Chains A and B, each alone.
Chain A
Amino acid sequence: MSAPAAAAPAPPTSHLRIEDVVKRFAPGGAAAVDGVSLDIEAGEFFALLGPSGCGKTTLLRLLAGFETPDQGRILIDGADMEGVPPYRRPVNMMFQSYALFPHMTAAENVAFGLRQDRLPRAEIAARVAAMLDLVKLGHLARRKPHQLSGGERQRVALARALAQEPKLVLLDEPLAALDRKLREETRFELVRIQRRVGITFLMVTHDQEEAMSMATRIAVMSAGRIVQLGTPQQIYEAPASRFVADFIGGVNLFAGRVVGAERGLLRVDCAEAGAQLLVEHAALAPGSDVAVAVRPEKITLTPEPEARNRLEGRVLGAAYRGEASTYEVELAGGKLLRVTLTNTQRTIRPLAAGQAVTLAFEPAAAVVLPP
């Protein structure tokens, strides 16, 4: 804790810096976290997004100090966390199970860390009241966890994680235990609270919608590595790989081979689409194998006769989702396509199963990915 952190003339460090962190649970085994580097700025609402087993929760536990990295460094405001036990880190965690102390009231749970810090009684009381007000639970301060609903417990857990005014709050699947309606309401609530307290939030989630709607930046993880880092828009509009494209929202993927390039457009021959597709992309050598990714909502129905990227198919089925419907369309070659149409489009042209349709998408709507 003493010499190495202070001695290194720190380059302009970010709020949280993760440097090439590796964690293996069995010596010589597969790495749960495999060389992750990340810089997070103060006040960010950052999401680690990935499927279960991708290492995102392990990374969170490394930050909290429950696990020690085999390699690499974690710095918070320039201070190396190596050898710093969880109870001395300026970090608080909101556990997926909330881990509320069952023998204490909501207020006592929130006060737990403040008592540990030996703050004066009056200050503890004031801070607890302020935290419970922040999460709108002032009236339930004297309830024990088993007397609270799931949503109320979640908010007690958040208040407890914020009470000590940490530099960083770690949220492990903060909404996973809530039912769907409450989950959507709570998203906005969490963002509102984060803005208000200004503390950096680092959230782990497997739910792309959650990450997209809440986070300022997202790191998509797979097999212990960060596969893409960016704002929600960047990740959605310009996925860097098939994995990201597929994991973030639905996507239609066509395997193809580059034929040529013309005026900023790439011509790709896709046997699956039964056509040559034009996609906005820098030139690639003819003959390269690529994948063309198109989001379901970027495909239009019965286009202008001269539209590019026309596809012929037959409607197989529809999933009504209120504001929009998703159709499954079978192309002539047997390839299945997902097409999302908003409510207005649907009312104008209702689609029945078995109906033949012509689809199209703009060259700018598609993304070229490595195969």
Chain B
Amino acid sequence: MSAAFRRRAVLALPYLWLVLLFLVPFLISLKISFADSVIGIPPYTPLVETGAGGWRLHLGFDSYRRLVSDDLYAVAYLNAIKFAGVSTLFCLLLGYPLAYGIVRAPRRYRNLLLLLVILPFWTSFLIRVYAWIGLLNENGVINNALLALGLIDRPLTLLNNAFAIYVGIVYSYLPFMVLPLYAQLEKLDPALLEAAADLGCRPWQAFLRVTLPLSLPGIAAGGLLVFIPAVGEFVIPDLLGGPDTLMIGKVLWDEFFANHDWPMASAVAVAMLVLLLVPMGVMRRLLQGESA
């Protein structure tokens, strides 16, 4: 009896965590998104108005109306998805060989190599992104080096554009791609590759027919871990981006802190969450198809 109870209690812990720290804040955001912006504390109308005539539900759809009618939001969403998507692809192209290399490295070096992958986390994210300004500047390290080598005559524009955002996101999120891929590839039985070779596969054919399909769950996990936070990224576009690289995270920030429009900011956040459910659903479908 008590054992069953304990087991249930253990299972309840993660749910409690998710309810308290994810569902409740989301419901609060959802509630605020249906309010009207007012000047005051808090800066939005209450959902339920109580007055002389009892209580009245107050649902405002202004924020959502603006979200749909103003191109700014759609452009920012699409931009965010484009930046996040392309960056995820580059993370995969860089991260896969990295993870594969670590798995194939002699056992005694593997932990060291993994440590090097997560080492950047020991410095503040903000500082690391900021450091890229010093690298990408017109008189930054990269331009100076290229000028000194005589490879270019004039400094290249590397900062405050799409390129800088890609560099920033790929650099910052690469470990989130490498680690799940490593975990997946590490599980791969080397005998499977020998079997593939035995049955006539050259090494690259064995990779395409065995290694790659068996690492799909790792690719999916890494892809989501990079794509989802990258969509809502604010710091990187703010520090490295330019006027034409508006991402939804920046819009959200501006609505909240510059315009003090909490309902609008909340509506943006809710819409972003709903939009992110789509790629997650697709991934889940893909993974289920794989394991069935």
A residues in contact (CB < 8 Å) with B: 64-66, 85-88, 91-93, 95, 97, 99-103, 112-113, 116-117, 160, 164
The answer to whether A87 and B202 touch across the interface, beta carbons within 8 angstroms, is yes
**Pairs A–B under 8 Å by Cβ, sample size 18:** A66-B194, A85-B202, A86-B194, A86-B197, A86-B198, A87-B197, A91-B198, A93-B194, A95-B195, A97-B189, A99-B195, A100-B195, A101-B192, A101-B195, A101-B214, A102-B214, A103-B213, A160-B199
Q: Any chain A CB within 8 A of the CB of B205?
A: yes
Q: Any chain A CB within 8 A of the CB of B106?
A: no
Q: A99 with B205: in contact, given A92-B198, A117-B200, A160-B199 (CB under 8 Å)?
A: no
CA distance A113 to B191 in the complex (A): 15
Residue of A nearest to B206 (CB): A87
Q: A95 with B194: in contact, given A87-B202, A103-B213, A116-B205 (CB under 8 Å)?
A: yes
CB neighbours (8 Å) of B202 from chain A are 85, 87
CB neighbours (8 Å) of B290 from chain A are 103
The answer to whether B210 and A101 touch across the interface, beta carbons within 8 angstroms, is yes
CA distance A99 to B197 in the complex (A): 12
CA distance A93 to B197 in the complex (A): 10
Query: What is the CB-to-nearest-CB distance from B232 to chain A, in angstroms, rounded to a whole number?
Result: 33
The answer to whether A113 and B194 touch across the interface, beta carbons within 8 angstroms, is no
The answer to whether A93 and B214 touch across the interface, beta carbons within 8 angstroms, is no
The answer to whether B192 and A99 touch across the interface, beta carbons within 8 angstroms, is yes
Per DSSP, chain B at the interface is helix
- Convert B182-215 into 0s and 1s, putting 1 for each residue whose CB lies closer than 8 angstroms to a CB of A: 0000000101101111111110010001100110
CB neighbours (8 Å) of B199 from chain A are 87, 92, 112-113, 116, 160, 164
CA distance A295 to B205 in the complex (A): 53
A-B CB pair tally, cutoff 8 Å: 57
The answer to whether B198 and A87 touch across the interface, beta carbons within 8 angstroms, is yes
Residue of A nearest to B199 (CB): A113
CA distance A100 to B191 in the complex (A): 9
CB neighbours (8 Å) of B213 from chain A are 103
Query: What is the CB-to-nearest-CB distance from B76 to chain A, in angstroms, rounded to a whole number?
Result: 39
B residues in contact (CB < 8 Å) with A: 189, 191-192, 194-202, 205, 209-210, 213-214, 290
The answer to whether A93 and B198 touch across the interface, beta carbons within 8 angstroms, is yes
Query: What is the CB-to-nearest-CB distance from A145 to chain B, in angstroms, rounded to a whole number?
Result: 11
CB neighbours (8 Å) of A88 from chain B are 200
The answer to whether A99 and B201 touch across the interface, beta carbons within 8 angstroms, is no
Q: Which among B195, B213, B214 has the highest number of chain A CB atoms within 10 Å?
A: B195
Q: A103 with B214: in contact, given A87-B200, A116-B199, A160-B199 (CB under 8 Å)?
A: yes
Q: A95 with B191: in contact, given A112-B199, A116-B201, A164-B200 (CB under 8 Å)?
A: yes
Query: What is the CB-to-nearest-CB distance from B219 to chain A, in angstroms, rounded to a whole number?
Result: 13
CA distance A64 to B195 in the complex (A): 10
The answer to whether A112 and B196 touch across the interface, beta carbons within 8 angstroms, is yes
CB neighbours (8 Å) of B194 from chain A are 64, 66, 86, 93, 95, 99
CA distance A210 to B205 in the complex (A): 36
CA distance A112 to B192 in the complex (A): 12
Given A101-B210, A103-B214, list of 18 further CB < 8 A pairs?
A: A65-B197, A66-B194, A85-B202, A86-B197, A87-B198, A87-B200, A88-B200, A95-B191, A97-B191, A99-B192, A99-B194, A99-B195, A100-B195, A103-B290, A116-B205, A160-B195, A160-B199, A164-B200
Query: What is the CB-to-nearest-CB distance from A61 to chain B, in angstroms, rounded to a whole number?
Result: 9
CB neighbours (8 Å) of A93 from chain B are 194-195, 198
Residue of A nearest to B188 (CB): A102
The answer to whether B197 and A85 touch across the interface, beta carbons within 8 angstroms, is yes
CB neighbours (8 Å) of B198 from chain A are 64, 86-87, 91-93
CB neighbours (8 Å) of B189 from chain A are 97, 99
Query: What is the CB-to-nearest-CB distance from A172 to chain B, in angstroms, rounded to a whole number?
Result: 10
Query: What is the CB-to-nearest-CB distance from B288 to chain A, in angstroms, rounded to a whole number?
Result: 13
CA distance A87 to B196 in the complex (A): 8
Q: A116 with B200: in contact, given A101-B210, A103-B213 (CB under 8 Å)?
A: yes
CB neighbours (8 Å) of A97 from chain B are 189, 191
In-complex Cβ contact of A87 among B192, B201, B210, B214 (8 A): B201
Query: What is the CB-to-nearest-CB distance from B286 to chain A, in angstroms, rounded to a whole number?
Result: 13
CB neighbours (8 Å) of A92 from chain B are 198-199
Query: What is the CB-to-nearest-CB distance from A335 to chain B, in angstroms, rounded to a whole number?
Result: 46
CB neighbours (8 Å) of B214 from chain A are 101-103
Query: What is the CB-to-nearest-CB distance from B266 to chain A, in angstroms, rounded to a whole number?
Result: 43
CB neighbours (8 Å) of A103 from chain B are 213-214, 290
Residue of A nearest to B213 (CB): A103
Query: What is the CB-to-nearest-CB distance from B80 to chain A, in angstroms, rounded to a whole number?
Result: 33
CA distance A100 to B205 in the complex (A): 17
CA distance A249 to B217 in the complex (A): 49
CA distance A91 to B213 in the complex (A): 26
CA distance A65 to B196 in the complex (A): 13
CA distance A227 to B199 in the complex (A): 32
CB neighbours (8 Å) of A66 from chain B are 194, 197
